């Protein structure tokens, strides 16, 4: 039989581990195939299970996976990654197509780990600032202790408009606070008909943010979102990620809002 088995994971070396918080680490993994921001891998731990994890950065023969420790599989990754490799399968999903955003004004709004799938987009425009007519990143975290990618923020601040805000500040924090939505009205946009909005985060945050962008005059067709759902296979078989006639794992997780708004669980 010659059919290759898409369920068979491959071994990927852990090149580096970047610790953001106690429960959120970025694992830099060897990978030399094509990968796009917004796509994801199934991290596949024999005897423990699999977890879909977004690509949070793309380098020379590496991909970054930023993982939050929440349950069985993710805990096992954190406990035993010292084995210095992980099984992966993927990449899966459509991912963001940077081409859609080139030479446009962009507001990218991310909540919490939602920054992972769009971090690649930010990295790209930070590296190629000429390819955008204005790039604003609004990133919201629960508290200053939850902020991810601190070093990257320092880098991005140099040539992008970066707003980093936390829901609940703590003593000694002197950055911005409040919901991401509060910052949207004041972002200057020259050509609203052509401006791009990209929104990723928890379901309620996404809903409010999109409402705010629409209120500001963004066209539905210019808003892009990434959806997370329960996944067991990543390849259109298990059914868990299906909404309407859409399989998030195959057709998403990135959707244009004109399509995404109809997705009803």
Ligand X SMILES: Cc1cc2nc3c(=O)[nH]c(=O)nc-3n(C[C@H](O)[C@H](O)[C@H](O)COP(=O)(O)OP(=O)(O)OC[C@H]3O[C@@H](n4cnc5c(N)ncnc54)[C@H](O)[C@@H]3O)c2cc1C
6 near another protein, rule: CB under 8 A: yes
Residue 73 binds to ligand FES (criterion: CB under 6 A): no
Burial of 195 (0-12, 13-18, 19+ CB in 10 A): buried
Written as six digits, the tokens of 42 are 């199934």
Q: Which of 222, 259, 256, 231 is nearest to 92 (CA)?
A: 231
Q: Considering the rule CB under 6 A, would residue 239 count as an interface residue with ligand FES? A: yes
> In terms of CB distance, is 45 or 189 closer to another protein?
45
DSSP for 169-209 reads --TT--SEES-GGGGSTTS--S-TTT-EEEEESSHHHHHHH
| 47 belongs to the binding site for another protein (CB under 8 A) | yes
> What minimum distance in Å lies between the beta carbon of 92 and ligand FES?
8
Minimum separation from the CB atom of position 115 to ligand X (A): 9
For residue 154 the two structure tokens come to 């320092």
Q: What is the DSSP letter of 168?
A: S
Closer Cβ to ligand FES, 214 or 232, answer by number: 232
232 binds another protein (CB under 8 A): yes
- Judged by CB under 8 A, does residue 169 bind another protein? no
Q: Where are the beta strands (DSSP E) in 212-253?
A: 223-226, 242-243, 246-247
User: Given the rule CB under 6 A, which residues bind ligand X?
Assistant: 40, 49-54, 66-68, 70-74, 113, 116, 228-232, 253
Q: Which stretch binds ligand FES (CB under 6 A): 114-122, 166-174, 197-205, 241-249?
A: 241-249
Q: Which tokens in the block code for residue 170?
A: 């703590």
Using CB distances below 5 to 8 A depending on partner kind, what does residue 40 bind out of ligand X, another protein, ligand FES, none?
ligand X
Query: What's CA 52's distance to the chain center, in Å?
Result: 12
The verdict on 240 binding ligand FES (CB under 6 A) reads yes
What is the nearest approach in angstroms of ligand FES to the Cβ of residue 232? 5
**109-130 in b/e burial notation, b at 16+ Cβ within 10 A?**
bbbbbbbbbbbbbbbbbbeeee
Structure tokens at 110: 């991310």
Interaction between residue 237 and ligand FES (CB under 6 A): yes
Nearer to ligand X, 50 or 212 (CB): 50
The contacts of residue 99 (CB under 8 Å, 6+ apart) are none
Nearer to ligand X, 79 or 154 (CB): 79
- The contact set with another protein (CB under 8 A) reads 1, 3-9, 45-50, 70-71, 74, 87, 228-230, 232-233, 235-240, 242, 244-245, 247, 249-250, 262, 264-265
- The contact set with ligand FES (CB under 6 A) reads 231-234, 236-241, 247, 249
């Amino acid at each position: 039989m010659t059919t290759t088995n898409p369920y068979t994971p491959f071994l990927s070396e852990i090149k580096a581990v970047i610790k953001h918080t106690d429960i959120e680490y970025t694992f830099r993994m060897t990978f030399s195939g094509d990968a796009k921001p917004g796509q994801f891998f199934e991290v596949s731990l024999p005897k423990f299970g699999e977890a879909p994890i977004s690509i949070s950065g793309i380098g020379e023969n590496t991909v970054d996976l930023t993982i939050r420790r929440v349950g069985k599989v993710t805990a096992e990754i954190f406990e035993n990654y010292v084995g210095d490799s992980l099984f992966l399968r993927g990449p899966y999903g459509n991912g963001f197509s940077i081409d859609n955003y080139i030479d446009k004004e962009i507001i990218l709004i991310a909540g919490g780990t939602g920054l992972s799938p769009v971090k690649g987009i930010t990295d790209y425009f930070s590296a190629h600032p000429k390819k955008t007519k204005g790039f604003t990143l609004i990133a919201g975290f629960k508290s200053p202790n939850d902020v991810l990618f601190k070093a990257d923020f320092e880098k991005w601040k140099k040539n992008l408009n970066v707003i980093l805000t936390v829901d609940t500040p703590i003593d000694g924090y002197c950055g911005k606070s409040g919901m991401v939505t509060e910052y949207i009205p004041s972002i200057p946009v020259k050509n609203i008909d052509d401006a791009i909005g990209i929104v990723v985060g928890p379901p309620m945050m996404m809903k409010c943010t999109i409402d705010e962008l629409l209120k500001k005059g963004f066209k539905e067709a210019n808003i892009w979102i990434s959806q997370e759902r329960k996944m067991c296979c990543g390849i259109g078989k298990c059914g868990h990620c299906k909404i309407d006639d859409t399989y998030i794992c195959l057709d998403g997780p990135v959707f244009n809002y004109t399509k995404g708004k109809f997705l009803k669980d």
